[in-house]
Amino acid sequence: MSGTVARRTQADRRARTRGAILASAARGLSTYGYADLVLEQVARDAGYTRGALYHLFAGKEELALAVVEWVTETWDVEVRLPALSEADPLASLLTMARGHTLYCRRDVARVMLTLRVEFAGQDHPVGRAVGETIGRLETECAGLIAAGRDNGSIPPGPPARLTAVAFVGLIEAVAIQVAGQAPHDIELMERAVRGILGVAPVVSPSPPAHR
C-alpha cells in the first residue's frame, strides 16, 4: 500500500470515527443536556472506546462545540440552502419550516434548543456558539419577512426582527412537539407558520357531498 493510499485510508477512518462520535454526542446532548452528558457513554454508543473519543476531542466542551458546528452544517445543507433557493420570500420561509420538520424526525433534533435553554443567561463558549448560530438565522429570516412584506406575499405586522425571533422559536418548538407524527407534522407546521406570519391558510378542498 502506497503512503498516499495509507494516509487516505487513515483519514477516512478518522472521519468515520469523528462522524459517529458527533452523532452519538448529539443524541446524548438532545436527551441529557450538557451537564449530564457522560463522554464514556457517548463513545460506547458510537461503538468506540473513550480513548478514541479523547484522541479526537480534548473534552466535553470541545466535543459540544463540534456538535453545534456539525448540526449547523448539516441543517444548512438539508434545510437552509434549499429554502434560500426559492425565488419568493414566503416560499423560502415555508420551505425552511417544512425542511426543519423533516430534519427533526431524527433523534438529534433537540440539540440546539436543549443547549440554548441550559446555557440561557450564562457566558459559556457552548452557549455563545448556539446563540450566534440562532442569531444569524433570525437575522436572515427577518430579511425574508421584510422582503415578503415589500412584495406583498406577507402582510404587515409586528417588526420583522421580532417576527423572525418568534418564527425561529416556533419552528423549533412545533417540530419537536410533533416529531414522529408524519405526515401530520408537516401540515401542522405549515399552519403554525402561516399563522405567525399572518398569511392566509391553504384551504383543502371539501369532500364531495353524499347524495
Q: What is the pLDDT of residue 44?
A: 96
Q: What is the pLDDT of residue 211?
A: 47
Cα–Cα distance for residue pair 124/118, rounded to 1 Å: 10
User: Which of 148, 135, 157 is closest to 91 using CA atoms?
Assistant: 148
Q: What is the pLDDT of residue 208?
A: 55
Q: What is the mean pLDDT of the chain?
A: 90
Helix or strand (DSSP H, E) at 5: helix 3-32
Q: Could you report the per-residue pLDDT of 147-194, keeping only the tens digit for each? A: 999 999 999 999 999 999 999 999 999 988 888 788 899 999 999 999
| Residues of the chain where predicted confidence (pLDDT) is lower than 70 | 1-8, 203-211
157 within 8 A of 163, measured Cβ to Cβ? yes
Q: What is the pLDDT of residue 6?
A: 55
Cα–Cα distance for residue pair 88/150, rounded to 1 Å: 11
Look at the block and give the residue holding cell 483519514: 11
Q: What is the pLDDT of residue 203?
A: 58
For the entire predicted model, the pTM comes to 0.84
Helix or strand (DSSP H, E) at 147: helix 125-151
Residue count of the chain, please give it.
Answer: 211
Q: What is the pLDDT of residue 168?
A: 96
